[in-house]
Amino acid sequence: MEHLYKNGSVNIHLQRLIRKQSYYEIGYSIDRIQVGMKKPTDDENNFEDNDGMKAKKIKFLLSMSDIDDHKRQLTFCYADVQQNLISKKTLINGQLKLLEILDNIYHMLNKLELDGHPDYQLRDEHYKIDLQEVQAAFMSTDSQDHQTAQLENGIRIRIQSLELINSTLKTAYDIWIQNLKKYRQLCSLLKLFSNREIMILIILLRTANEPKSTRNQFFKNLFELEDLNNQNENEQKLTIHFLAHYIRSLRISEVNLTNDHLLQLYQKYRIEAKSNTDLCLKKLAGFLQSLLENKRELFQPGQEQHENQQFLVNINRPPPSINQKSFAHDFDLDTCCVLLNIFQNQLPASYQILWCSNTTEQDIHLFFSRIRTFTSLTFAILDIDKMHHRLREILLIEQDLLTREQGVHGLVFYFSCELTTARKGLREFHIPAKYKDTNQSYQHLMNLFNQQHISPPNIQSIYGKAGIGKTHRINKEYKTGDTSCFSINDKLNLSLLISSFLSFNSNVSNHSPSIFFNISVHAPFELLNRTLFSLFICGSLIDPSSGLIFSLPYTEAWKFIIEVPYSDLSQVSVLENFNQILPILSIISPLTLEEVTDENYKLSINEEEELVARFLKAFHNGTIDRMVERTKIGEDIPVSFEPLTDTNESRLWIADCIEKYAPNLPRN
């Protein structure tokens, strides 16, 4: 405790922008006294006087968990210390207050970082918590009362300075939120981006005068660059490349996203370093308005509505069987089809769909502000039944406010099995039979792609039984040198996937990149289907926690090779298994499905396989039971086996061995 008062300092590190956890730590040091000894000089009778006392500082760092433990110990000590030790009580109580205000400062900085304040990203803050008065009091010979007064005064001054810092941070946060509200009213396009997405756009537009600017560190981490040679030129190229992803995610057709046009607008609206948030948002609003000034599809007046258009979509689905439970999820084939068909005139964009299973209060309010602003668009709200009860209450309050308002708003569809039409303003949506038809849904989707002049993704789905050779066929027939491979096992890290896509896109050397998704049978299929829907239908992947966006090009179709897993536990056909676990793929790529079977993709026989088959044959006919023969002159005649020239014969011997000795082993 006393060492923190003597030389303690706090280091706060904000680093969520580079996908690391923010944290703070407290550092202090202890003087270790080293006593000098007399050393003989060249003169045997003389000694060098080296009796001086030397202090060596030993440094310590307290992690956040260590700080919590220290606060608990201080609390117990305060309760146990004797009443007459007033100075000790003052020190303990003062340090508890100091640690509390430091915790408040960290959480305020954390709040600024999470809510996207551009000035509080990749930032390190250092605060002193040492008290000179404590050092003086320990050395003072004054009375106990005077020492206690000194301590109290020093602690009070330090707490006041830290409270002033906390108050300044609160003011900065309030100004940021107020400016966001102000400019979202002035420029409705800002409502299409979350706070963290706006933050990244500001960082991209902001000029970098320092070699270790926020943008520079962001790019180095994202694209794994050791150094940015020709820093300004390379940063500018990456900035233009990055800006295009954010604009494409809006799904506004015929926007000029050429490098020259984006560079021209970037130079016009770039933000000077150290600009305040008001000016940053003003510049960003001007950039978006100039880029999209002639695109009125977001603001076209919809069909005249005389009542609120809020519909409840209730899709009755049978309960999964015991064997299907591990693969069952709510984003099934019917839900996918209906979701595709409610967007009648335009391909959906990510900002038109609210996935409630991972939403926040801020996301809900922002989503409903879009519904009120963009009256010509259709919006969908899914996973309502999986929401936390507090967030669901916020959602229902927004729905009720929307019902009470007199103005026109966008068309809203609520997907839920628990909500009822008894809620005021909600009407049941009678699902047309064609909305559940996969063939009609596919045709409707292709029509939307053609209307907006966007190339649909080129998807090749490979499915079949476990161990049948799907991976081998993909490696042999589909993968190229420009194919990037992603394995999806029991977890799906969306932020890492997006950053990998962005890095791959910036380094790809041709116009036909390909992605290979190797999906495990243990994959989180509900999250995976939502991700694939966002990528293939909405054309973009968005990570709410980081603000990163990846968008597919409009005119260059990427090739996606997807290996579909299969488990014998499902007890369904391989095609039905495909429809159950990856329904979105069964809708959007019905013409490019390929089943791998024993008949159409037989075991590949190379040198290793032929050698195994040769010895299996020798084992079967007994010719393997031979000894080395020796000639008259003492030379050994090795045992040899005739090579198998017929590949079908090799397959036969290997298959026979598996069938006889390992019938339950999946063939590969």
> Tokens representing 2?
């006393």
Summarize pLDDT for 369-408 with one digit per residue, the tens: 999 999 999 999 999 999 999 999 999 999 999 999 888 8
Q: What does the pLDDT average to over 128-154?
A: 66
In a domain, 300, yes or no: no
Question: Which of 125, 155, 182 is where one domain is finished?
Answer: 182
Summarize pLDDT for 445-501 with one digit per residue, the tens: 999 999 988 999 999 999 998 888 899 889 988 988 888 999 999 899 999 999 999
Considering the domain architecture, whether residues 176 and 69 belong to the same structural domain is answered as yes
pLDDT at 139: 45
Q: What does the pLDDT average to over 427-452?
A: 93
> Tokens representing 468?
């049948």
Q: What does the pLDDT average to over 276-301?
A: 82
Cα separation, 446 vs 454, whole angstroms: 10
- Categorize the per-residue pLDDT at 605 as very low, low, confident or very high, splitting at 50, 70 and 90: confident
Q: Which is more confidently placed, 490 or 53?
A: 490
Considering the domain architecture, whether residues 167 and 56 belong to the same structural domain is answered as yes
CATH classification of the domain holding 559:
3.40.50.300
* pLDDT over 90, % of the chain: 48
Summarize pLDDT for 78-114 with one digit per residue, the tens: 676 656 566 677 778 888 899 999 999 999 999 999 9
Summarize pLDDT for 620-654 with one digit per residue, the tens: 888 888 777 777 777 877 778 888 888 888 888 88
> Tokens representing 133?
């008065």
Considering the domain architecture, whether residues 19 and 106 belong to the same structural domain is answered as yes
Residue 12: which domain range?
2-182
What mean pLDDT value characterizes the chain? 85
Considering the domain architecture, whether residues 67 and 120 belong to the same structural domain is answered as yes
In a domain, 425, yes or no: yes
Summarize pLDDT for 516-531 with one digit per residue, the tens: 999 999 999 999 999 9
Considering the domain architecture, whether residues 152 and 239 belong to the same structural domain is answered as no
In a domain, 51, yes or no: yes
Q: Which residues, 6 or more positions from 296, have their beta carbon under 8 angstroms from its beta carbon?
A: none
Cα separation, 201 vs 196, whole angstroms: 9
Task: Give this prediction's pTM.
Answer: 0.86
**Residue-by-residue DSSP string for 210-238:** STT-HHHHHHHHHTT-S--TTHHHHHHHH
Q: What does the pLDDT average to over 1-27?
A: 88
| Neighbouring C-beta atoms of residue 270, cutoff 10 Å | 16
Considering the domain architecture, whether residues 255 and 330 belong to the same structural domain is answered as no
- Categorize the per-residue pLDDT at 53 as very low, low, confident or very high, splitting at 50, 70 and 90: low
- Categorize the per-residue pLDDT at 308 as very low, low, confident or very high, splitting at 50, 70 and 90: low
In a domain, 303, yes or no: no
Q: How many domains does the chain have?
A: 5
| Neighbouring C-beta atoms of residue 123, cutoff 10 Å | 17
Considering the domain architecture, whether residues 116 and 68 belong to the same structural domain is answered as yes
Q: Taking every pair of C-alpha atoms in the chain, what is the biggest distance, in angstroms?
A: 113
Considering the domain architecture, whether residues 208 and 259 belong to the same structural domain is answered as yes
* pLDDT over 70, % of the chain: 86
Considering the domain architecture, whether residues 423 and 540 belong to the same structural domain is answered as no
pLDDT higher than threshold 70 for residue 281: yes
Question: Which of 596, 624, 641 is where one domain is finished?
Answer: 596
Cα separation, 21 vs 63, whole angstroms: 13
| Neighbouring C-beta atoms of residue 519, cutoff 10 Å | 21
Residue found under tokens 């116009």: 511
pLDDT higher than threshold 90 for residue 587: yes
- Categorize the per-residue pLDDT at 172 as very low, low, confident or very high, splitting at 50, 70 and 90: very high
Distances (CA, A) of 85 to 43, 135, 247, 299, 662: 56, 18, 66, 72, 79
pLDDT at 41: 56
pLDDT higher than threshold 80 for residue 46: no
- Helix locations, 516-606, DSSP H: 525-536, 574-581, 583-588
DSSP state of 206: B
Contact 586, 333 (CB under 8 A): yes
User: For residue 274, which phi and psi values (nearest 5 degrees)?
Assistant: 70, 10
Considering the domain architecture, whether residues 52 and 160 belong to the same structural domain is answered as yes
CATH classification of the domain holding 372:
3.40.50
Q: What does the pLDDT average to over 39-59?
A: 60
Burial class (CB in 10 A: 0-12, 13-18, 19+), 566: buried
Lowest model confidence (mean pLDDT) among 174-183, 248-257, 327-336, 629-638: 629-638
In a domain, 252, yes or no: yes
Considering the domain architecture, whether residues 483 and 619 belong to the same structural domain is answered as no
Summarize pLDDT for 539-580 with one digit per residue, the tens: 999 999 999 999 999 888 899 999 999 987 777 889 998 999
- Categorize the per-residue pLDDT at 307 as very low, low, confident or very high, splitting at 50, 70 and 90: low
Q: What does the pLDDT average to over 306-313?
A: 80
> Tokens representing 144?
């106990």
Question: Which of 436, 466, 483 is where one domain is finished?
Answer: 436
Q: What does the pLDDT average to over 600-604?
A: 79
In a domain, 441, yes or no: no
Summarize pLDDT for 202-254 with one digit per residue, the tens: 999 998 777 788 998 999 888 876 655 556 778 888 999 999 999 999 998 77
- Categorize the per-residue pLDDT at 306 as very low, low, confident or very high, splitting at 50, 70 and 90: very low
Considering the domain architecture, whether residues 71 and 209 belong to the same structural domain is answered as no
